[in-house]
């Protein structure tokens, strides 16, 4: 009899444990829509729509890589071109008030020292490609190519020397911004101006 009582108690404990495990809570249920199919009720879940894209063809991948490289270069160099335009305007205005050649030379030397301290390290870290883009942007901002600017401020010998160095790296100080050939650059600049209204 004791044995039967133990068996009954054990069964009741097991049933109580399984009943506890089957108790529903708010966190273990998910409300879903249902569809009746005959006498069956079938849960129905609608998944979000998403697009599946195939790999771009090689030609388009190259074009996208070229665009991305140009866009990154313009985003990096455009602030320098804007600064160059402002500085050049200020320098030209100040030089017109200095009749003495010695004063002008001292002023240019001090201005060059300040600009090297402010921008020197940043400009030295630019890649050759970014340098080419920067030269076009400087022409776009100032209306003068880099060769003419250097020639005007530092003299013809310095301009030729810098042109020679640029030539060895595949650059050209005389490169100019052309609205037809450089449509992509212009489009990226307009994008920058749209998002950064302070330019």
Number of H-type helices and E-type strands within the chain: 7, 2
**Residue 3 pLDDT:** 54
**Residue 43 pLDDT:** 86
- The mean pLDDT values, 10 residues at a time, for the chain of 199 residues are 54 49 64 85 86 84 91 89 83 78 77 75 80 86 79 78 78 78 87 74
Could you tell me if 73 and 60 are in contact, meaning their C-beta atoms sit under 8 angstroms apart? Answer: no
76 contact partners, CB below 8 Å, separation of at least 6: 126, 130
The pTM assigned to this predicted structure is: 0.64
**Residue 18 pLDDT:** 47
**Residue 134 pLDDT:** 85
Q: Where are the domains of the chain?
A: 66-195
């Amino acid at each position: 009899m004791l044995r039967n009582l133990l068996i009954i108690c054990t069964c009741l404990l097991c049933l109580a444990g399984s009943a506890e495990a089957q108790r529903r809570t708010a966190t273990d249920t998910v409300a879903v829509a249902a569809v009746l199919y005959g006498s069956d009720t079938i849960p129905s879940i609608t998944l979000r729509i998403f697009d599946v894209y195939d790999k771009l063809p090689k030609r388009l991948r190259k074009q996208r890589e070229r665009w991305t490289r140009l866009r990154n270069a313009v985003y990096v160099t455009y602030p320098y071109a804007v600064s160059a335009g402002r500085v050049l305007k200020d320098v030209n205005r100040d030089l017109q008030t200095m009749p003495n050649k010695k004063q002008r030379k001292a002023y240019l030397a001090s201005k060059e020292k300040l600009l090297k301290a402010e921008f020197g390290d940043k400009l030295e870290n630019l890649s050759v490609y970014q340098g080419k883009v920067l030269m076009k942007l400087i022409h776009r901002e100032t209306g003068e190519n880099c060769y003419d600017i250097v020639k005007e401020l530092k003299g013809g010998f310095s301009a030729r020397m810098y042109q020679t160095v640029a030539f060895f790296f595949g650059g050209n100080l005389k490169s100019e911004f052309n609205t037809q050939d450089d449509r992509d650059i212009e489009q990226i600049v307009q994008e920058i101006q749209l998002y950064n209204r302070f330019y």
